[in-house]
Amino acid sequence: MRPPSISLMLMATLISFPAAGAELVDGAELNKRIFDITRAPVVDARDTADRSMLPVPGALVYQRNMPLDAVQVIVIADTDSDALVAAEQLESMHSRLKSYALSGGYDTLRLLLPDAKLPARADSIMPPVFTIPSDTCQTGPALHIYEAR
């Protein structure tokens, strides 16, 4: 039986370990590393509900084998660790790509791109006043009125 070749062992090592070049950076560090942050594509690795509630116009939806022709990308996700994993996977697929996982995700991106006018995250989806009627077919006082304080 022949021993495996060195190139085969190197390929197996590269496939089994994620790229070491992806970094988790905060907003200030990202501004230092990317000359024009508005030109770097944003890769959105958040879940579908977050992407639909708080969309990032022009962002690329993260997919495992997504095609990219950018040199640098900014990756946002629901958690910093998810962003870092997505950034590492992108770098392992694209040899010349430098990906930055943005610490703080959407909220940090919103501060970095004020001209994009990204919507603010609501503290609660509950309306400020919510009325529970006593009966929908009859008039009368409400069963309960909830007011946020």
Task: Select the more confidently predicted residue: 17 or 67.
Answer: 67
Task: Select the more confidently predicted residue: 117 or 112.
Answer: 112
Let me know the angle formed at the C-alpha of 146 by 140 and 149, rounded to the nearest 5 degrees. 145
Confirm whether 131 is domain-assigned.
no
Distance CA 92, CA 98 (A): 10
- Please state the pTM of the whole predicted model: 0.68
Note the pLDDT tens digit of each residue in 28-61.
Answer: 888 888 878 888 899 999 999 899 889 999 999 9
Q: What residues have CB less than 8 Å from 99, skipping those under 6 apart? A: 21, 22, 43, 72, 73, 74, 75, 87, 88, 90, 91
Confirm whether 129 is domain-assigned.
no
Confirm whether 74 is domain-assigned.
yes
Confirm whether 135 is domain-assigned.
no
Percentage of residues in the chain having pLDDT higher than 70: 72
pLDDT of residue 34: 85
Confirm whether 138 is domain-assigned.
no
Distance CA 4, CA 6 (A): 7
Residue 128, number of CB atoms within 10 A of its CB? 9
Confirm whether 101 is domain-assigned.
yes
Distance CA 82, CA 117 (A): 25
Bin 130: left if φ > 0, else alpha if -120 < ψ < 50, else beta: beta
Any idea what the CATH number is for the domain that residue 12 is in? 3.40.250.10
Confirm whether 143 is domain-assigned.
no
Note the pLDDT tens digit of each residue in 1-23.
Answer: 445 444 444 344 444 444 457 88
Q: What residues have CB less than 8 Å from 41, skipping those under 6 apart? A: 58, 59, 60, 68, 70, 73, 74
Distance CA 16, CA 149 (A): 52
- Total domain count, the chain: 1
Domain of residue 22, residue span: 8-122
- When pLDDT is cut at 50, 70 and 90, the band that residue 116 belongs to is confident
**C-alpha dihedral, 130 to 133 to 137 to 138, nearest 10°:** -130
Confirm whether 112 is domain-assigned.
yes
